[in-house]
Amino acid sequence: MNFFVPFCIPFIVGAVAMFITLAWKWGLWLYRLPRADKKRIVCGLPTRATLDAAGEVVCESLLHRRIFRVNPLLGYMHMSLAFGWFLLIAVGWAETIAYVGFRWVPLQGHVFFRYFATGLPHKPVFAFIMDLLLLFVLSGVALAWGKRFFSKRMGMRRTTRHVLGDRIALSALWFIFPARLIAESTTCALYEGGGFLTGTIGAWMGEHISTMTLLTLESVAWWFYSSCLGIFFVALPFSRYMHIFTEIPLIFLRRYRLRSDEKESSYDRFQVDACSRCGICIDPCQLQSVLGVDNVQSVYFLRDRRYGMLRAEVADNCLLCGRCAQRCPVQIDLNTLRINSRDRLHNIPAERRYDYLKGVDRSSGTGKVGYFAGCMTLLTPRTLVAMERIFHAAGEEVWWADRDGSVCCGRPLKLAGETDAACKMREYNTELFRKHGITTLVTSCPICLKVFREDYALDGIEVLHHSQYIFRLIQSGRLAIERGAGQFTYHDPCELGRGSGIYDEPRAVIEAIGLLLEPVDTRENALCCGSSVANTAITDGQQLQIARSVTAELEATGAGTIVTACPLCKKALGRGAVHAEVRDLSEIVADAVSK
């Protein structure tokens, strides 16, 4: 049996071009990985991680479990296209074997098998299954069309605006399956066979269309189908559909513990190209929902970065609140990618910039517990006073690192892309902490907390946010609290909640003091106060707009007091609040300490 006809050429060319491009890209990215990352892969290969990764590939790349969780309809759309197409290929393979036995069949032989199999006896079971699968995929295509035109009904307020390459690939993809349906149906019309879908349409065509026309139509339809495939395959590595294949190695690499860091690395390419531009990140973005800024969201950031057209205006205009990363179905580390893009755009050498830090030490007091208020906390002295009362009530000897002002933790510099400069702050503060021999470091600022926990080498020093510290004091009975009738609502600071995973301790502390009322968006979904130091692009007025929208939601709980655990959030929410009082967690604790 000969498995070649001229209309196969577009498909063959496309497929070959795609596989060469893919191999080239992946090879290059893997080759360019830092040595340490390569070692991680080699060490990880023979472990359980490989199996877990394979499982995750099935769940995510084929079934799209995570999209299902965010939006079932969207999940079905992605699943029908990915899993449906995969099954078409897999079952198609089995069908070929069933017809011609175990012998080598070229790729196009499998793909266009219906065309080649006209002379062979029918196998209605396969015809039925293949038609069912085609219907499954077609339902996904229909939804994709629907999403373009009626995005709101699909549960998405906004969908992604695409680049030209995407549009070509997208159009080709939309036509592939309808083209296949028509091509197979025409063949069925001429040679009979087919299942409930292609067979029925074929029979109808056979009745109504003359054989001569059908012959022409068959040729045209198969050419069209093959061309759509070819165009799609050629465009794929340069379009968003690159994610189909890139997500697979990404899942493996992630399981082998590769991570993005403050400097760009080759691993980032896998993350960047794994973005399917589904646009799920657009809706949670408050810059979009409150301010109407609609060209900076992660999907656009990744798109611009991928095509080398990233501008500082886009990279810098992000609160790094992590609401998008939290929903990303591919779990791309969006914040880190944004940070290392900023590093590339803004980092400047910092050998001599902070020479003036030499010998500076403004700390006071002595104790095994160090308290680092953080720059911003110095502007919210109520927190400082409250912490002092709490330390006193618990009988804690405290070393005050920065009561009289000190050196920044370095996270703001890092978030702005000046990573080398941030390193200098780290060196300074680490040395200061070591010098005073503390074993616990308490901070009231989640921004400081995150950098202390993640970027400082503080072995032997336990780093705690004041919410965690207070929680421990209460639990261990060192701090006696009197429960009152107050009603509180809690605002999760981004760096504390999504950033550091601390949700329960502040809530437990509040519940020890009064009634906790949760706002609509809470915990992992909590809104950002808008004053994040990570954003150097939006204006004061825009920050205020966001703050107002957030406080409106918090005040809607009916609580008289909005509690937060970050000086920056406190300042921001204080500006937006209309009725409610905005207080730091430590303040309400200090007020509730038993006399």
Partner 1 sequence: MKRVIIIGGGPAGMQTALCLVRRGIEPVIVECENELGGKLRNWHVLFPTFTPASDVLTELRRKVRENRIGVHLSTSVETFTDRQATLSDGRVLTCDAVVVATGFTLFDARIKEEYGYGIYDKVITSADLERLFNEGRVVQAAGEHPRRIAFLHCVGSRDEKVCQQHCSRVCCVTGVKQAIEMRRLFPEADVFNFYMDIRMFGPGYEELYREAQQRYGIHFVRGRISEAAPTHDNRLQIKAEDTLTGRPLRMSVDLLVLLVGMRANDQNAAWAADNGLNQAPSGFLQPKDLFLGNVRSGVEGIFYAGTVTAPKTIGETVNEATAAADAVADYLTTKA
Partner 2 sequence: MAAIHFGYTISKPRAIDLDRNNLRKSDEILREMPELQTCIGCGSCTAVCTAGNLTEFNFRKVHTLVRRGEYQGAYEEMNKCMLCGKCRLVCPRGINTRGVVLLIKRKLGDF
Binding footprint of partner 2 on the chain (CB under 8 A)? 312, 316, 346, 348, 350, 353-354, 356-357, 360, 375-376, 378-379, 405-408, 410, 412-413, 416, 418, 421, 425, 531, 533, 536-541, 568, 571
Cα torsion 292, 293, 299, 300: sign: positive
Judged by CB under 8 A, the number of residues near partner 1 is 12
Q: What, of partner 1, partner 2, none, does residue 353 touch, CB below 5 to 8 Å by kind?
A: partner 2
Query: Residue 540, interface with partner 1 (CB under 8 A)?
Result: yes
Q: Binding partner of residue 348 among partner 2, partner 1, none, CB under 5 to 8 Å per kind?
A: partner 2
Instruction: Give me the least distance between CB of 391 and partner 1, in Å please.
Output: 15
344 interacts with partner 1 by CB under 8 A = no
Q: Which does 1 bind (CB under 5 to 8 A by kind): partner 2, partner 1, none?
A: none
Nearest distance in Å: CB 335, partner 2: 17
356 binds partner 1 (CB under 8 A): no
By CB under 8 A, residue 544 contacts partner 1 = yes
- Least Å distance, CB 339 to partner 2, is 14
Q: How far apart are CA 147 and CA 67, in angstroms?
A: 15
Closest separation in Å from C-beta 264 to partner 2: 19
244 near partner 1, judged by CB under 8 A: no
Question: In whole angstroms, what is the distance from residue 180 CA to residue 114 CA?
Answer: 10
Which residue lies nearer to partner 2 by CB, 9 or 537? 537
Interacting span for partner 1 (CB under 8 A) from 83-91, 211-219, 236-244, 381-389: 381-389
Q: How far apart are CA 283 and CA 20, in angstroms?
A: 36
Site for partner 1 in 391-420 (CB under 8 A): 403-404
User: Among residues 348, 385, 520, 552, which is the contact residue for partner 1, using CB under 8 A?
Assistant: 385
Q: What is the DSSP letter of 315?
A: H
Candidate list 38, 65, 158, 382; residue touching partner 1; CB under 8 A: 382
Alpha helices, DSSP H only, in 347-488?
A: 381-394, 411-415, 419-435, 446-454, 466-475
- Cβ of residue 361: shortest distance to partner 2, in angstroms? 11
Binding partner 1 by CB under 8 A: which of 6, 55, 124, 381? 381
Secondary structure element (H or E) that encloses residue 528, with its range: none
Smaller CB separation from partner 1, 177 or 400: 400
Task: Give the chain's length.
Answer: 595
- By C-beta, is 71 or 532 nearer to partner 1? 532
Of the candidate residues 142, 293, 379, 533, the single one contacting partner 1 (CB under 8 A): 379
Q: What are phi and psi of 441, to 5 degrees?
A: -120, 115
Instruction: Indicate which of partner 2, partner 1, none lies near residue 93 (CB less than 5 to 8 Å, by partner kind).
Output: none
Q: CB 169 → partner 1: shortest distance, Å?
A: 48
Q: Which of residues 345, 378, 508, 533 is near partner 1 by CB under 8 A?
A: 378
Q: Cα torsion for 86, 88, 94, 96, to the nearest 10°? A: -130
Stretch that binds partner 1, among 116-124, 141-149, 379-387, 453-461 (CB under 8 A): 379-387
Query: Token pair 């437990």 is at which residue?
Result: 508
Tell the residue number behind the tokens 């691993």, with chain if given: 267
- Partner from partner 1, partner 2, none binding residue 574, C-beta < 5-8 Å depending on class: partner 1
For residues 99 and 269, what is the distance between their CA atoms, to the nearest angstrom? 42
Residue type (1 letter), 172:
A
Residue closer to partner 1 (CB basis): 82 or 577? 577
- Signed CA dihedral, 217, 218, 219, 223: sign only: positive
Answer for which of 574, 585, 588, 593 binds partner 1 (CB under 8 A) is: 574
Least separation in angstroms between residue 535's CB and partner 2 is: 9
Which are the contacts of 60, defined by CB distance < 8 A and separation ≥ 6?
Answer: 66, 247, 251, 329, 330
Is the torsion defined by CA of 339, 341, 343, 348 positive or negative? Answer: negative
> Tokens 């189909």 label which residue?
244
Nearer to partner 1, 147 or 570 (CB): 570
Nearest to 465 by CA among 435, 433, 488, 499: 499
Task: Region of 290 please: left (phi>0), alpha (psi -120 to 50) or beta.
Answer: alpha
| Spatial distance between the Cα atoms of 489 and 580, rounded to a whole number of angstroms | 10
Give, for 400, the enclosing helix (H) or strand (E): strand 398-400
Q: Which does residue 382 touch among partner 1, partner 2, none (CB within 5 to 8 A, set by kind)?
A: partner 1
CB-based contact 433:441 (threshold 8 Å):
yes
Q: How far is the CB of 435 from partner 2 (least distance, A)?
A: 17
HSE on the CB side for 139, CA within 13 Å?
14
CB distance 390 to 473 below 8 Å: yes
> Which of partner 1, partner 2, none interacts with 537 (beta carbon under 5 to 8 A by kind)?
partner 2
Residue 412 binding target from partner 2, partner 1, none, CB below 5 to 8 Å by type: partner 2
The DSSP-derived string for 233-299 is HHHGGGSTTHHHHHHHHHHHHHHTT----SS--THHHHHHHT-----TTTTT-HHHHTT---S-SHH
Tokens representing 407 are: 């050196």
> Which residues within the stretch 26-85 sit at the binding site for partner 1 (CB under 8 A)?
none
Residue 389 found at the interface with partner 1 (CB under 8 A)? no
Cα(494)–Cα(276) distance, integer angstroms: 25
Q: How far is the CB of 432 from partner 2 (least distance, A)?
A: 13
Of 364, 386, 399, the residue nearest 444 (C-alpha): 386
Q: In 3D, which of 199, 227, 59, 60 has the Cα closest to residue 130?
A: 199
Nearer to partner 2 (CB atom), residue 79 or residue 373: 373
Residue closer to partner 1 (CB basis): 377 or 429:
377
Q: Which does 575 bind (CB under 5 to 8 A by kind): partner 2, partner 1, none?
A: partner 1
Least CB distance to partner 2 at residue 343 (A): 13
Q: What are the residues binding partner 1 (CB under 8 A)? A: 378-382, 385, 403-404, 540, 544, 574-575
